[in-house]
Amino acid sequence: MAKIIDAVDPGNAGGSVLIPEMPTTPNRQVLRKCPKCEKAFASREECRQHIFDAHPAKRPQLVVDNQMVTERDHVICAPFLPDDWIIQQAEQIIIDQQPMTDSAACQTLSKLTSGFHHVQLKSHDFVVDYHIEFCIPAEEQLVVVEKTFSMLLVNQPLVSERIGHFIDVAKHEHGASHYIEGISDFLYGVLSKDQRGYTGLVFQEHTAKFHAAKQALRFIDRPLANLIKALVNFNDNAFAAALALRPPGQIAAACRILDGLRGGESRRPPEDLLTAGNQLPVDIATAEIIRFCHLPLAEQLDQAFTLEHLAGKRTTPPHDRVKIQALLMNTFWEAGQFTEAVRWAKPLRHNPLFEELANKIIEEAGND
């Protein structure tokens, strides 16, 4: 009986078919057209380069008071005129689902005082969505918050009960919620850093509280708000940023001294003791550092042991310890006590803030 596979031609015993030849005429060139102007190009790369050079994408932008508005988490805490708002490169503007012209949009934005609002800007290439919170308090509300703060917290012992009382009294000024939040976060940060006041906050949380205060106050341009932001910058060793906020008196002077040391220049202490008026509560380390900056040189030498003890405490944060080391290095150098100056300069040899002055002092002392 024959098997079925016996009837299968293995391919070398049967016929064959002709393989078609490749076409002898060349293919036509494929052209790429620019979607903007219909100009044709021989390659995709040439077309892309043309689009990049001749038709750069224009992303719409929203600007207020010469500052770019962020797409999320932007808070407007102060009133602005229509001319303060600028809308750039937008072919279509929609505010809270209502299309409008450029001038109408600026008028609308200048009239908003509260709530969350959606601004959508469209161009040929982009759609940009802004989610903006308007929280503009009346001047009277801000004054009430500041008076409450002065009555309950200025020149008073800082305890958590006082902060809670401040929040309870001030919270009725609804438009000033960010102001109240920033002040209270800063004060809780002070208590956390010093581990006093029975807040339940651990030491490590003070930095988060300080930065939360700075975030809440970032769009508020008031003397108290700017002072708090300056103190947070001082805590972070951002002395130039603190000075840009124009803090008063002793804080500004301390920032100038430390910023000078950061720039590689030793600074002569003041001739006379500087006094201060009303005091915003600050943590113990910051208070001691600022106080030391304003002592005459002879008193700085007498009080150096206080800062040295503070620098040696386990709970002193690194950014405060660095400030103390720089101040003691400067004090002993100005007093001609070069051995002590070098002792405090050595830990700063590789510190990005004060390494220039530290290395200069070590080098000059070694040449003497």
Residues 358 and 258 reside in one and the same domain = yes
Helix (H, G, I), strand (E, B) or coil at 48: helix
Cβ burial of 136 (10 Å; 0-12, 13-18, 19+) is: middle
Helix (H, G, I), strand (E, B) or coil at 117: strand
Residues 183 and 281 reside in one and the same domain = no
- Residue 137 to residue 144: CA distance in whole angstroms: 11
Helix axes 206-216, 223-235, angle to 10 degrees: 140
Q: Is residue 90 part of a domain?
A: yes
Residues 279 and 334 reside in one and the same domain = yes
Instruction: Give the CA dihedral 235, 237, 238, 244, nearest 10 degrees.
Output: 60
What pLDDT score was predicted for residue 56?
76
What pLDDT score was predicted for residue 14?
52
- Residue 42 to residue 53: CA distance in whole angstroms: 17
- Residue 11 to residue 13: CA distance in whole angstroms: 6
Q: Is residue 25 part of a domain?
A: no
- Residue 328 to residue 267: CA distance in whole angstroms: 11
Of 135, 153, 177, the position where a domain reaches its end is 135
Of 220, 240, 271, the position where a domain reaches its end is 220
- Residue 154 to residue 135: CA distance in whole angstroms: 26
Backbone angles phi, psi at 208, to 5 degrees: -60, -40
Instruction: Give the CA dihedral 253, 259, 263, 266, nearest 10 degrees.
Output: 40
Tell which phi-psi region holds residue 105, choosing left (phi > 0), alpha (psi between -120 and 50) or beta.
Answer: alpha
Residues 46 and 126 reside in one and the same domain = no
Instruction: Give the CA dihedral 364, 366, 367, 368, nearest 10 degrees.
Output: 90
Amino acid at 13: A
- Residue 183 to residue 229: CA distance in whole angstroms: 10
Residues 274 and 341 reside in one and the same domain = yes
Residues 272 and 317 reside in one and the same domain = yes
Q: 106 CB contacts (<8 Å, ≥6 apart)? A: 82, 83, 85, 86, 87
Closest among 202, 193, 218, 220 to 283, alpha carbons compared: 193
Structural tokens at position 19: 């393989």
Instruction: Give the CA dihedral 251, 306, 210, 345, nearest 10 degrees.
Output: 80
* Spans of the chain, pLDDT less than 70: 1-30, 197, 267-278, 367-368
Residues 273 and 360 reside in one and the same domain = yes
pLDDT digits (tens, 9 = 90+) for 186-201: 999 999 999 886 778 8
What pLDDT score was predicted for residue 16?
58
Of 135, 169, 199, the position where a domain reaches its end is 135
Closest among 149, 157, 282 to 210, alpha carbons compared: 282
CATH code for the domain in which residue 35 is found: 3.30.160
Residues 362 and 298 reside in one and the same domain = yes
Q: Provide the number of structural domains found in the chain.
A: 4
Task: Quickly count: other Cβ atoms within 10 Å of residue 40's Cβ.
Answer: 12
Residues 299 and 357 reside in one and the same domain = yes
Residues 255 and 347 reside in one and the same domain = yes
Residues 43 and 96 reside in one and the same domain = no
Q: Is residue 49 part of a domain?
A: yes
Q: Is residue 128 part of a domain?
A: yes
What pLDDT score was predicted for residue 3?
53
Residues 289 and 350 reside in one and the same domain = yes
What pLDDT score was predicted for residue 192?
94
Domain hosting residue 53, numbered range: 30-57
Q: Is residue 47 part of a domain?
A: yes
pLDDT digits (tens, 9 = 90+) for 268-306: 656 554 555 557 899 999 999 999 998 999 999 999 999
Taking a C-beta distance cutoff of 8 angstroms, is the pair 344, 325 a contact?
yes
With vertex at residue 214, the alpha carbon angle to CA 253 and CA 190, rounded to the nearest 5 degrees, is 70
Q: Is residue 354 part of a domain?
A: yes
Q: Is residue 263 part of a domain?
A: yes
Instruction: Give the CA dihedral 61, 64, 69, 74, nearest 10 degrees.
Output: -150
Structural tokens at position 323: 């400030």
Q: 247 CB contacts (<8 Å, ≥6 apart)? A: 226, 227, 230, 231, 255
User: Model's pTM, two decimal places?
Assistant: 0.73
Q: Is residue 35 part of a domain?
A: yes
What pLDDT score was predicted for residue 105?
96
Q: 93 CB contacts (<8 Å, ≥6 apart)? A: 87, 99, 100, 101, 102, 105, 119, 120, 121, 122
